[in-house]
Amino acid sequence: MIERLCVIGVGLIGGSLARALRDAGFCREVVGAGRNPAHLQKAVDLGVIDRYETDPGRAVAGADMVLVSVPLGAMAAVFSAIKGHLAGHAILTDAGSAKGGVIDAAREVFAGVPAFFVPGHPIAGTEQSGVEASFASLYQGRRVILTPVPETDVQATARVREMWEAAGADVVEMDPVHHDAVLAATSHLPHVLAYTLVESLARLGDDGEVFDYAAGGFRDFTRIASSDPVMWRDICLANGDAIQLMIEHFVADLNTLTEAIQNRDGQLLLELFTSARDARNRFVDK
């Protein structure tokens, strides 16, 4: 049970957690924080938060749980703003899509990773953003990865786990470096590919004519290219090394396939496509 949850960054991720915890009766009060009073008032009007502060330091006062769900590039500034204002019993967690950079920021701002900080990442979301897009069931059956470091208090991790489980999530723990490699593969690389594909086709110079002949598969394939550009800029900056490694891995495999096309090697093409289809059917649509 949380007495006062403070959500810094009341968008799809933070808003959906607040809704889920309210619905579950797991949280007595929700205080929102952010830079835009109009957005925050909308969150109040939607019943997502009870009240808000635009100063993160004021917002965290008295909160026993603080979730920072802002773009990765804003994490360090938020940590600085709340430093010295957290209650003695407060637990701090975040929802950043890459963990190494957030942990570094916490280490720097607090002069060592605080025991009360539990780095986390809910593997959920849509290409939508904003509190208007938030909904209580977003985390139902979804994975949340917590990446505690040796400094992290075990009780704090347990409390954050309880919170996400109350929201319906399936919580796992993982080493932050492994997390960042896995997410580079399954999320960051696909986004980079989708953004590049759309940009690449848009620049073909037919004034968008090619898109007139795109079928449903193309719509699905490029849906993630409608995601928030600021969020994805920050992810590419924060997890650049892991993403670059995955791009290299991917380009090597794409070269193999391109050579098979060039050599009209039907046997190899059939093997690659069959193997990929089987992997997808085995692992993704299982």
The reply on whether position 249 binds a copy of itself by CB under 8 A is yes
Q: 141-144 — which CB contacts under 8 Å span 24+ positions?
A: 141/168, 141/169, 141/170, 142/168, 142/169, 142/170, 143/169, 143/170, 143/171, 143/172, 144/120, 144/169, 144/170, 144/171, 144/172
**Residue placing its CB nearer to a copy of itself in the complex, 77 or 210:** 210
Q: Please give the structure tokens belonging to residue 106.
A: 């916490």
**Residue placing its CB nearer to a copy of itself in the complex, 30 or 124:** 124
What is Dmax (Cα atoms) for the chain? 67
The reply on whether position 3 binds a copy of itself by CB under 8 A is no
The stretch among 3-11, 14-22, 78-86, 117-125 that binds a copy of itself (CB under 8 A) is 117-125
In this chain, which of 49, 124, 163, 169 binds a copy of itself, going by CB under 8 A? 124
**Residue placing its CB nearer to a copy of itself in the complex, 107 or 143:** 143
The reply on whether position 215 binds a copy of itself by CB under 8 A is yes
The reply on whether position 80 binds a copy of itself by CB under 8 A is no
Site for a copy of itself in 223-242 (CB under 8 A): 223-227, 229-230, 232-234, 236-237, 240
The stretch among 77-85, 99-107, 146-154, 263-271 that binds a copy of itself (CB under 8 A) is 263-271
The stretch among 45-53, 88-96, 152-160, 219-227 that binds a copy of itself (CB under 8 A) is 219-227
Binding-site size for a copy of itself (CB under 8 A) equals 88
The reply on whether position 154 binds a copy of itself by CB under 8 A is no
Site for a copy of itself in 170-189 (CB under 8 A): 182-183, 185-187, 189
In contact, 10 and 49? CB cutoff 8 Å = yes
DSSP letter string, 122-185: E----S--SGGG--TTTTTT-EEEE---TTS-HHHHHHHHHHHHHTT-EEEE--HHHHHHHHII
The reply on whether position 245 binds a copy of itself by CB under 8 A is no
The reply on whether position 209 binds a copy of itself by CB under 8 A is yes
The reply on whether position 76 binds a copy of itself by CB under 8 A is no
In contact, 97 and 120? CB cutoff 8 Å = no
In contact, 210 and 203? CB cutoff 8 Å = no
DSSP code, position 239: T
Task: Using the Cα atoms of residue 267, residue 272, residue 278 and residue 281 in order, give the sign of their dihedral.
Answer: negative
The total number of residues written for the chain in this structure: 286
Q: Report which secondary-structure segment, H or E, holds 245.
A: helix 240-262
In this chain, which of 83, 142, 159, 173 binds a copy of itself, going by CB under 8 A? 142
Interface pattern 12-51 for a copy of itself (x via CB under 8 A): ----------------------------------------
